[in-house]
Amino acid sequence: PSLAAGDIIRLAGQGNAIAEFEAKTGVSVQNDLMAPFGSEIVLAVDGPMLPIPSWKLIVGVHDPARVVSTIERLVAAVNRDHPGAQIGFASETAGGRTYWIITNPKKLFEAHFTFDGGFMIAAPSRDLIERALQYQDTGYSLPRSQAFRDLLPRDGYTNFSGMTYYAVGSVIRPFAQQTLTPEQQKALAAA
């Protein structure tokens, strides 16, 4: 990621904007924002979209301490340059694990994160992170889901660098049960 960021900055010709950002925040885009991360990333929405989306972000991390330090400096810079923002950044320990929380006073956004096995796991609540860690511990994962595996190519070539998978039924089902007639629900189930 660090080398890719350097290439993108050079190709885009955004050196001045990047230099200004780095001077204001004290954060190096290439060394602080990109270097601590690996090349593996997963973003999942696993649950309801409303009122708060149940997203999870898992990113490979080589240097967790640098990630925390960089976020801390970015939050301080935002709070310094935008006094009304007052973004919060704190940590808490639960079950022998440290969690960090990014909040704002209006509760428009909240993110929790922790590190495990070379990855940063982030979500809008600690509960979602703990559930993701439990899934990992028990082997409950997307590649083991038969519904997912049924969608993979039959030729055996399942190595790919990116994909999108969306199980729309689990999102639509609660709305359908509340708004559709029994006949419409049967037709939807048969489709």
In the DSSP assignment, the letter for residue 31 is I
pLDDT of residue 92: 96
pLDDT-derived band at 20, boundaries 50, 70, 90? confident
Sign of the torsion angle spanned by Cα atoms 164, 169, 175, 181: positive
- Single pTM value for the model: 0.72
Per the CB < 8 A criterion, the answer to whether 14 and 63 are in contact is no
Q: Is the pLDDT of residue 185 over 70?
A: no
Per the CB < 8 A criterion, the answer to whether 106 and 84 are in contact is no
Q: What is the pLDDT of residues 137-169, one digit of tens each?
A: 887 766 677 777 777 777 766 666 666 665 666
pLDDT-derived band at 87, boundaries 50, 70, 90? very high
pLDDT of residue 11: 66
pLDDT-derived band at 122, boundaries 50, 70, 90? very high
Q: Is the pLDDT of residue 85 over 70?
A: yes
By percentage, how much of the chain surpasses pLDDT 70?
71
Residues 6+ apart with CB under 8 A from 105: 86, 88
Across the beta sheet with 37-45, the strand order is 37-45, 55-61, 119-123, 110-116, 97-103, 88-94
Q: Over the chain, what is the mean pLDDT?
A: 81
By percentage, how much of the chain surpasses pLDDT 90?
36
Per the CB < 8 A criterion, the answer to whether 114 and 97 are in contact is yes
**Rounded CA gap, 78 and 102, in Å?**
12
